[in-house]
Structure 1
Amino acid sequence: MSKHSNCENDTSARSRLFGYGLTVLLSSALLLVLEIVAGRLLAPWIGVSLYTWTSIIGVILAGLSLGNWLGGVWADRGGSGRSVGTVLGLAGLYCILSLIGIDTLGSRLQEAEASLLSASFALAAALFFLPAVFIGIVTPLLTTLALRLDARAGHVVGRMHALAAVGSILGTFAAGYWLVQWIGSRALVLMCGILLMLLAVPFLRGARRSTQTALSLAVSVALAGLLLSHGLAGSCERESRYFCMRVVEQPTPPEAGPTRGLVLDHLLHGINHRTEPSLLVAPYVHALDELAAAHFGERYAEGLRWFFAGGGAYSLPRAVESLSPDSSITVAELDPLVTLTAVESLGLDPAPMHIVHRDARLALQSEAEPFDVIVGDVFHDVAIPPHLVTREFAALVRERLAPDGLYLMNVVDTLPDPLLIKSLINTLQTAFAQVDIWMDHVPEAERVTFVISATNGTPLPDTIIARHGFVRRWQRMTDAVLGYGRDPRELPILTDDYAPVERLIAGLLIGESQ
């Protein structure tokens, strides 16, 4: 063989090795893009929690592991480049098909009243297990093909594993920092499907015409089905780096007038009257306002210094600004797009307020002047950020409150034995002399939004009667709630080191208490 022929062979081998490595890099990146976008894609149906992410990560790792094993077996039994093209094409096709079925599957799980744990696992498995299996097959197949071109086994295997890892890292950062918020979750899944099929094309060039025709037909049918089913529409009006959000018209009593609600992921986070900001539709938001008014009396109307940990629909900040125009209002809302949505669609006028788009704990730490009222309205979905319910955060709240200041918060938990509420009361009692639970009635539903007050000032009266808006009254229910079920002394004080929020609200997530 001539020297020229050897050169051509070397060049061809290097080109193919480069192509194999690039395919491993890109397919691994696309799998991690799918993993990151999975949380957002599933959020409108099951929300976002530790259990949700556990299901997503576990399912994708399981699929990847099975794919790696199958790829190794296939490689030993004669797997070829055409095999790589086939699995990449199937992965891309499945991504498109998943967009057609997600709404139907999500609706069925809701109708079946599946627990959040079982629903999150079912959705993750149905939508992402098979793509992970198909993509997992690629690396061992291409590594085996590369070893036929380069005898340096250690070098080839190490390079392929490194490229897979680098691709995963790039996919993670690209999706989390940029792609989800600029492209949207469903469009991003479609893009991943198309790119996976494009990766398959070079490997299928030598395939029989019937194979190419079948794949083209399947893709055409899937795309047509996607368009006809409105699979790209989804339920999000806007997507930020934190939330899938939409504004919905809310049914209220005819005398109340028109109201709108803000839905973040799959949970309604606030209801605003379009023209009367002081009319608080949600009972728990109304309670927060009335507790502050009862605590401070005439000082409420004269103007207080308020700090809100969480903005959401800005229902209470709007009401305070309307009822007490001389108040100083600071709102720490993590997501700027939530604020923009409240301004454009929920009647918020941000001019009289100081709005900080920052984590509430960091924002509160940076404040020097004491506040009269601090409101914690930060639960997301059914959970609450753990670092905002700990003993250390309670101490920070106490330091930032005036001596007679009032800390108010709302938290979702279950009846009749709310373990998170009991742990939270234990925690707040490390910083406050008077900690109470307030309810306007004892609901039949298991899922309840509790209102908690904490102060080192004068205790509130046992009954609070609404002074404006809907006719309501709230009772101090501390002893009744704490006295039923598990002894609060058996439950932990929440700390920055140990705050098992998801375990304590397991009744909401998996249907049982821990």
Structure 2
Amino acid sequence: MALEIVGGRLLSPFFGGSVYVWGSIIFVFLTALSTGYYAGGIASDKKPSLSVLAGFIALAGILILFIPPLVVPFVKFTFAIGLGNYGTLVVAMLLFFLPSVGLGMVSPYIVKLGIKESSRLGNLVGKFYAVSTVGSIIGTLATTFVLIPWFGIRHIIFALGIILVILAAAILIMNKRLPQTVLVICLLVLSLFAVTTANSKESSQGGKLIYQKETAYNNIRVEDYYNRRYLLFNDTEQSVTDKNQPNVHIWPYTELMDNAAGYYRPDATDMLVIGIGGGTVINSMLTKNPDLFVDAVDIDAEVIKVAYEYFNMPDSPKLQATAGDGRVFLRDKKNRYDVIMVDAYNRTSIPSHLTTREFFTEMASALNPGGIIIFNIVSSIEGDYSTFFKSLLLTSQQVFPEYRLFQAETEDPSDLDNLILIASRDKLGTPDRLANRPEYKGNIDLSKAIVLTDDYAPVDTLALKIMSLY
């Protein structure tokens, strides 16, 4: 169960936290366990030996050790051959099937080795599955509420592999199989050396690593390139700042969001930001507007800590940063805002509940008269990468009929870009330019777009081509 839970978390940075990920994980583990039960039953009848049992456990542990360094190459392979959502299933099968088969073979072996009296077979099997189920319950709770919040996903997987190999060695020692014990320990050492070498060669973007931590949501890194500091989630750049001028925008899209708020609501006194990142926009707006109060919320508490410690997000009474889900915060806080900014999407993960008509309705209820929402959307206006954006735009129009749209860097509407969407229930002005970028005024064909709802929001499918660019 521990491996199954961390397996879903391992794949989510690449495929999102969608039903495709969890459906694939559950399918692979059930298929592998069924195969292991069947094969283990046959093998246990042919050779019921503790040494063979230890061999299956050791093999499963060693295979688990190689899961973390193989995930990125397998993901890139499936993206390269265009498997789409089926790539999740293929990667899960490649990573987890064989070690899970090995673990599945353990159960029939233990039952076979434990049989001394056929009259007590039912009692033995019942006790075994009761203990096994209790172990699964403990493993599920411990992994969810203790291990993942406190340790990195990769560390948990490595620990699972090492524990299994050590358990196999202990069984062999108790069975006085010293040569096999030495072999298992040597394989463990060689495997650890191989995976450690592979990890050290993984891409680190070439900068000087300042900070790194794997959380329940992200593998967070802070890296310095000369005078610039970058925040990365799962190897994807999220924020950048000039260490000497922390309030100066480096990326055009953050400047656009900042300027959009300043142009459409220069009198704003209350703002909500969903998705903090490095706090670039927050820093700039608080510096320029001393009357502004900002509520900022991010699902990952570690992101808030990093923004304060490494990106100069101000420790000010004008800023209240909260760890939590943006939509839950919006619903529970019951404050009213002049501006709501949503910067919670990236190329590999789009929280579907932050895209729906119901979410837009909740934002509308939280806005003061004349209030605006500002979205940062990695997409294109037309072409291959536009499917998600068009559905999001159509959805927003169900609640906010007025909108303005800007491309952060390109002029071609078919190019992948950071699209800045400003929407309101009230009339919006039309600036000549914002942050030296023109407003996009072309017609947008929404005939194939769908309205996203809490009941149906297939964002992982709509944004599949964007996610495949990993």
- Category of TM-score, reference length = shorter chain: 0.7 to 0.9
Residue number in structure 1 paired with 2:465: 507
2:8 touches 2:22 (CA, 8 Å); kept in 1? yes
Whether 1:166 aligns to 2:134 is yes
Residue number in structure 2 paired with 1:239: 214
Residue number in structure 2 paired with 1:429: 397
Residue number in structure 1 paired with 2:353: 387
SS at match of 2:428: coil
User: Deviation of residue 114 (structure 1)?
Assistant: 6.6
SS at match of 1:459: coil
Q: Considering only aligned residues, what root-mean-square deviation do their CA atoms show, in Å?
A: 3.1
Letter in 2 for 1:389: T
C-alpha distance 285-174 of structure 1, shift in aligned 2 (>3 A)? same
Where do 4+ consecutive residues of structure 1 move more than 6 Å?
113-116, 232-236
Matches for 1:289-438 after TM superposition, within 5 Å: 289-297=258-266, 299=267, 303-351=268-316, 352-414=318-380, 415-417=382-384, 418-438=386-406
C-alpha distance 495-105 of structure 1, shift in aligned 2 (>3 A)? closer
SS at match of 1:366: helix
Residue number in structure 2 paired with 1:475: 439
Whether 1:34 aligns to 2:9 is no
C-alpha separation between the residues in 1 aligned to 2:222 and 2:414? 25
User: Deviation of residue 53 (structure 1)?
Assistant: 4.1
Structure 1: gaps (5+ residues): 1-31, 252-257, 467-471
Larger Rg: 1
C-alpha distance 306-339 of structure 1, shift in aligned 2 (>3 A)? same
Letter in 1 for 2:140: T
2:388 touches 2:463 (CA, 8 Å); kept in 1? yes
Deviates more, 1:314-323 or 1:357-366: 357-366
SS at match of 1:79: coil
SS at match of 1:476: coil
User: Deviation of residue 77 (structure 1)?
Assistant: 2.5
C-alpha distance 111-231 of structure 1, shift in aligned 2 (>3 A)? farther
Residue number in structure 2 paired with 1:22: none
Q: Percent same amino acid at aligned positions?
A: 26
Offset from partner CA, 1:410-464 (integer Å, 9 cap, x none): 1233551522222222221221121343224345885433221111222231642
SS at match of 2:350: coil
C-alpha separation between the residues in 2 aligned to 1:343 and 1:189? 30
C-alpha distance 407-220 of structure 1, shift in aligned 2 (>3 A)? closer
User: Deviation of residue 38 (structure 1)?
Assistant: 2.9
C-alpha distance 445-429 of structure 1, shift in aligned 2 (>3 A)? closer
Letter in 1 for 2:458: P
SS at match of 1:382: coil
C-alpha distance 357-426 of structure 1, shift in aligned 2 (>3 A)? same
1:47 touches 1:265 (CA, 8 Å); kept in 2? no
Offset from partner CA, 1:327-356 (integer Å, 9 cap, x none): 111111222211111111112113230112
SS at match of 2:221: strand
2:395 touches 2:451 (CA, 8 Å); kept in 1? yes
Provide TM-score, normalisation by structure 2.
0.86
The number of residues matched between the two structures is: 457
Residue number in structure 2 paired with 1:279: 248
C-alpha separation between the residues in 2 aligned to 1:379 and 1:333? 12
Deviates more, 1:114-123 or 1:49-58: 114-123
Provide TM-score, normalisation by structure 1.
0.79
User: Deviation of residue 279 (structure 1)?
Assistant: 1.9
C-alpha distance 373-110 of structure 1, shift in aligned 2 (>3 A)? same
